[in-house]
Structure 1
Amino acid sequence: MIKPALRLRTILNSENPKMIEIKKNLSKIPEFVFRNNLDEFIDS
């Protein structure tokens, strides 16, 4: 299982257009929502 922090670092370092879009929106997402829905968000 990938640790959330490691996975988050992977997202933040990614050049994938979807990941870039996520990066732009990260600051708008409340932390508790972000933490609970990160996996779902990435997998969708």
Structure 2
Amino acid sequence: MGLNILRFNNLEVLENLEGVRQHLHTLLEVLDKAVAHGPIRPRTS
């Protein structure tokens, strides 16, 4: 029983991490666009 709870919790954490990763990706895209169109020029690496 304990193992089932552990497995469920791990799955839940992985799903939460995936959601966070997608939010971060969207946030970075928005920041990229804001920087590209703003007074600050993006650094060329």
TM-score normalised by structure 1 residue count: 0.27
Identify the structure with bigger relative contact order (alpha carbons < 8 Å, sequence gap 6+).
1
Name the structure where helix makes up a greater proportion of residues. Answer: 2
TM-score by length of 2: 0.27
Query: Which protein is bigger by CA-based radius of gyration?
Result: 2
